[in-house]
Each structure stands twice: as C-alpha cells, then as structure tokens.
Structure 1
C-alpha cells in the first residue's frame, strides 16, 4: 500500500535533493561532465559573492516580516470568518488571491503602484497633499522590497488559511459549552485554552507553509521589479538561484545555493515541529 508513495517520494524528492548536494561540490555547466572542486562553490558563495549576501539579507528580512505576519493573519481571519454568517463566501474571497495567476495580479498591482501621478497610490497621496511628486514605488530601491512584501502578504491567504478554517470547524462545540461551565468567559479564553491546543496539527502545517512561502518568494518579485531589480534591492535567494541555474547555466554553483536554501527551510521547519508537537509524541 505504501510502495507507490514511497517510490514517487524517492524519485521526485530524495533523488533531486541528493543530486543537488553532490553537484554543489562540482563545477557543472551542462556542456561538460561535472568536475569535483570540493568546497569552492560554498567558499565563493559566502566570501566573494556580494550579490548572494544581498539576496540572503533580503530573503531573511522578507521571511522575518511576511512569514509571521501571514501566519498570524491567516489564523486571525480564519477565526473571525468562522464565526460569521456566510463564512464560505468570505473564505472564498480571502482564498481567491492565492489561486489567481501571478501575471494577472502583476497587472493590477503594477497599476496600483505605478510610478506616475496616475497610479492609484500616488494619486491618492497627491490628492490629499501628502506628497508633491510621484514616488517610483517599483523602481526606487528604497521602496521596492516593501512593495513586494505587501503584495506577497496580500497573496498569502492560501492553503494555511483553509487549513486553519477547517481546524476551527472541527473543534467540537460541546467543549466550548464545557469550558463555559468551568469559567471561560470570553472568546479569547476559548481560543487560548481550547482551540489552540486542539489545532496543533493545523498550526504546524500553517507554520511550515509560511516558512516555505517566505523563503521561496520569486515570481511576484521578478514580475514587479524586474530581473535583476535596481541595485538588487528586491533580489532573493531564489532569484539568485534562477540566475545561475537557467541564465548562466552554472548548475554546480546553483546547487550550492539550493542546498543553503534547503538547510534554512529545513532548520526552521524542525523548530516549528518542536514548537507545535505534543509532549506525548
């Protein structure tokens, strides 16, 4: 019964990860056989590649801001919507941006953050006298990373939001009644004492999804700010990986970047599993 899953998991997960780890110690350009160079790729990555350090800083800043925010907002809105009438309609409205095409969303957000005075944000600020000249939101290195963070946060109400909503709906209502008898007086006490302890699997899934999404940001950043962005202000680890893998075809170096990204997400995922796992597991 488990053989098909184990076979597919081995072929599509274990083999690619193992291959990337091996290739990260080689020089490989797809035209010649891989040549073993040891730790040279990692030494170049951390000691000489200034663009990677910028990408690492941007990705960490992005993850620190959007990861926790998207996680808590997903749970908060799921908690609010679960208690509303027509909750399915509200859930669809929150989930829709995550399944919408990135190209379509880029068209909308490019118009909103347009750098001329006809962009919606600039027009609003000029009309209210907050600025006297348009701001180049998607061209100025001082602003573009924040714009990407905002748009990505808006798109983050996806699978984690639905899982939280499903977890909230699966909490038995009689537990809330028993809690009220035992002295629980408001919704926040219900959430802290009953809901959260019963939602540890959903909380773990949402944490892992938020971590992966925050470190894997690429398409929306490239679509909004270009590849590469001005002064690499919105350059991320995945952008750097894409550059070396599919533009320069230096697959050995790109594999080293992917291994660093894998270790970051794996470490944070293990921390999340320790935080949300039950003490008896």
Structure 2
C-alpha cells in the first residue's frame, strides 16, 4: 500500500516537473524570438481586437434576442429557424437576388479585371498609367458620387441621357424605367457595379502580369507556344496565381458589399418590389430600422459563412499548391 502511494507521488511529481519544463521551454522560446513577435504584435493586436473578438461576439449574439434596449436574452436556434421558415422577404427576394447578383458580378468583374489588366500590360508605358488611372478611378467613387453620375443617365423620363439617346435613334417608343422598375433595376445594378469593379484586385493582377519574367515567354515560344491565348493559359495565369487569388477574394467581397447600389439608383429603400433587395439590405433593415439586432447578427453570420466558403473555393482554384 505504501509503495503504491510512493509510486503515485513520484508520477505526480514527474508530470508536474514535465509540465513546468514545457512552460519554461515555451517562455524561453518566446524570449529567444522576442524581436519577431514584437514585429507581428501590431497586426495580431488589430486582428484580435477588430476581427476575432467581433466575430466571436457576433456568433454568440446570433443565438440571442437583443433590441439594444433590454439585456440580451438567450433564445437558442430561434433566429435561424425564423430565417429558414418565416422570413419570406429573405427567402423570396434577398437570397435569390444576392446569389444571382454575386454569380454575375463576381466572375464577370473578375474576368473583366484580368482581361483589362492584360490588355493594359501590352500597351507602351507612356499610355499604361493613364489607362490604369481611368479604369481604377471609378472604384474610388462612393455611392453618392456614383449616383450623381448614373442617376441622370438612367433617369426614367425623356430627359434621361440613355432614354433620350435611344428615343432619338428610334430604338424605343417610350421612356424605360431603368432604375425604378422590377424588370430593369437588377440589370442596371449589374452594369454600374461592373463599371466600378476595377479596384485593388485589378491593380494586383496588373502588377502580377507586369512582373512575369519575360524569359518565360521566350522559353514558351521555343517549346511550341504560338499564340497570345496559349501564353495567357500556360504562362501568365500560372505565374500570377497569388495575385489572381487576391483578385478573386476582392471580387467576392465587392459583390457582397455592392447591395446599396439598388437603393442609390432607385432612390427607394426598400427597392421597387424588392428587385434589388440583398442579404446586406435585409441586415440593415432588421439592424438599423427594426432594432432586432440578434436576428440581424444571425443573418451576418450566415453571410460570413457564404463568403468563407466562396473564398475557400477561390483558394482551391488559384491557391499555390505544394511543389509549385
């Protein structure tokens, strides 16, 4: 009996010594690389304070009822049940509109950004910067500046620039409600979003294309590449995968963030017959008008998951694999 107790004490002492040794080794390694940790500390602090903690708080709040006046009350999965079974505006308008809009704007804007970046890359240097500036500038325009430009163009009366132009050509017999009708609002949103989609992702792809080693093109010609299309497929795209991945992520985020364009163009919120109503619009409605912050947070969590899986898919396509 006594021997068993002695063995147990020895094992406990040994395990305690090992744990203390691991802790001391951890702090020794931390101190040995203190300069490296000091350099990454600003990023880690900002990431934890402004991204990690808010995301965790949002996940917790999505399981609660909160109206900004009373204390949050835990309600379990009720917000998500309501989302799937009773929120008819979300199911009938917001979700289908968001999916169709993102499927057009995401790949469409991404392909346009790559093709325009490639076309600019083959221009002489004296013209390249001016074309780059002309294509990048619209992405800097906010909703107010954008509406000042596009509202007169898409005005629904005869004085609207587009209607006036088409009427003078005889292509239409009466003004078209480009921004205030259910049939045309989504198309107008897509055109405006593509116009302002040449943002930082476009610049990243342009920089990647310009930095491709010219010797690779020479080696490709020696190996049998005979056309520009083959150069793009076999050399340009594989050589700019990191920039293309970044551009894909920015295209996904930009497609999700462009939900306010419908309200800016139509001057109505919600948009006519919910033609331009998106998930982000639904979040704004419940969060800032109805003050149902718990449900708005649950919608935000679902949107976060959609963006996360879209980014994972982009990483599968353009992520650098081991050995490349």
TM-score scaled to structure 2, two decimals?
0.85
Of residues 101, 107, 120, the one that matches 1:81 is: 120
Pairs within 5 Å for 1:176-195: 176-195=217-236
What is the CA RMSD across the aligned residues, in angstroms?
Answer: 1.1
Q: Where is the helix percentage greater, Structure 1 or Structure 2?
A: 2
* Corresponding residue of 2:104: 65
Pairs within 5 Å for 1:101-120: 101-120=142-161
> Given the alignment of the two structures, is residue 44 of structure 1 paired with residue 86 of structure 2, yes or no?
no
- Does 1 or 2 have the higher relative contact order (CA < 8 Å, sep 6+)? 1
TM-score scaled to structure 1, two decimals?
0.97
Question: In structure 1, how many angstroms separate the alpha carbons of the residues matched to 2:170 and 2:209?
Answer: 45
Unaligned runs of 5+ in 2: 1-38
Do the aligned residues in 1 keep the contact of 2:153 with 2:162 (CA within 8 Å)? yes
> Given the alignment of the two structures, is residue 175 of structure 1 paired with residue 181 of structure 2, yes or no?
no
Question: In structure 2, how many angstroms separate the alpha carbons of the residues matched to 1:152 and 1:105?
Answer: 10
Do the aligned residues in 1 keep the contact of 2:66 with 2:292 (CA within 8 Å)? yes
Structure with bigger gyration radius: 2
Question: In structure 1, how many angstroms separate the alpha carbons of the residues matched to 2:169 and 2:252?
Answer: 38
Choose 229-238 or 176-185, whichever is displaced more: 176-185
Of residues 176, 182, 207, the one that matches 1:166 is: 207
Do the aligned residues in 2 keep the contact of 1:20 with 1:259 (CA within 8 Å)? yes
Of residues 4, 9, 20, the one that matches 2:58 is: 20
Matched position secondary structure for 1:178: helix
**Aligned residue pairs, count:** 281
Choose 268-277 or 255-264, whichever is displaced more: 268-277
Choose 146-155 or 222-231, whichever is displaced more: 222-231
Q: What is the CA distance between 1:278 and its match in structure 2? A: 2.6
